[in-house]
Amino acid sequence: MAGISLMKNKLEAYKCYANEALHFKLVRHESDLEDDRTTFHPDMTHQLFGDQESIFGYKDLEIQLYYSAAKLTTYLHIKYFDKVSPKRFEGVSADDVIKILAKEMPPGYYTNLDNFVAALPKDANFKPFGDLLHSYTVYKDGKDRKFEIYKISIDCPGFRDYHERLQTFLLFFVDAASFIDVDDDKWSFYLVFEKYRDNGNRMYAIVGYMTVYNYYAYPEKVRPRVSQVLIMPPFQRQGHGAQLLQTFYNECYKRNDILDITVEDPSENFQRLRDFVDAKNCSKLESFQPRHLHNGFSDEMMKEAQEKLKLSRKQARRVYEILRFKVTDPSNIKQYRKYRLDIKKRLNLPFQKNGRDFQKLQRALHPDELNATLSCMSIEQRHCYLEKAFEEHVEMCRHVIERLAESVD
Ligand X SMILES: CC(=O)SCCNC(=O)CCNC(=O)[C@H](O)C(C)(C)COP(=O)(O)OP(=O)(O)OC[C@H]1O[C@@H](n2cnc3c(N)ncnc32)[C@H](O)[C@@H]1OP(=O)(O)O
CB of 35 to ligand X, least distance (A): 22
Which DSSP helix (H) or strand (E) runs through 289? none
Catalytic residue among 30, 264, 391, 402: 264
Closest distance to ligand X from the beta carbon of 265 (Å): 6
286/226 Cα distance (integer angstroms): 27
Rounded CA separation 242/271 (Å): 11
The answer to whether 264 is a known catalytic residue is: yes
3-state secondary structure of 408: coil
The separation between the first and the last C-alpha atoms of the chain, rounded to the nearest angstrom, is 71
30 DSSP 8-state letter: G
In the bound state with ligand X, the residue whose beta carbon lies nearer, of 159 and 276, is 276
At its nearest, how many Å lie between ligand X and the CB of residue 344?
A: 25
Report how far Cα 299 is from the mean position of its chain's Cα atoms.
Answer: 31
Considering the complex, state which of residue 78 and residue 149 has its C-beta at the smaller distance from ligand X.
149
- The distance of Cα 116 from the centroid of its chain, to the nearest Å, equals 29
Helix and strand numbers, DSSP H then E, in the chain = 16, 13
Closest separation between CB of residue 208 and ligand X, Å? Answer: 6
Smallest separation (angstroms) from ligand X to the CB of 281: 14
Q: Say if residues 219 and 163 touch (Cβ distance below 8 Å).
A: no
Instruction: Write the DSSP assignment of 326-391 as a string of letters.
Output: HH--TT-HHHHHHHHHHHHHHHHGGG-TTSHHHHHHHHHS-HHHHHHHHHTS-HHHHHHHHHHHHH
Residue 114 or 144 having the CB closest to ligand X: 144
Tell me which residues touch ligand X (CB under 6 A). 173-174, 226, 228-231, 236-242, 263-264, 266-267, 269-270, 272-273, 399, 403
- The answer to whether 51 and 80 are in contact (CB under 8 A) is no
Nearer to ligand X, 29 or 326 (CB): 326
Total residue length of the chain: 409
Q: What letter does residue 327 receive in the DSSP assignment?
A: H
Which residue's CB is nearer to ligand X, number 166 or number 263?
Answer: 263
Minimum CB distance to ligand X, residue 257 (Å): 22
Of 142 and 157, CB closest to ligand X = 142
Q: Which residues are catalytic?
A: 264
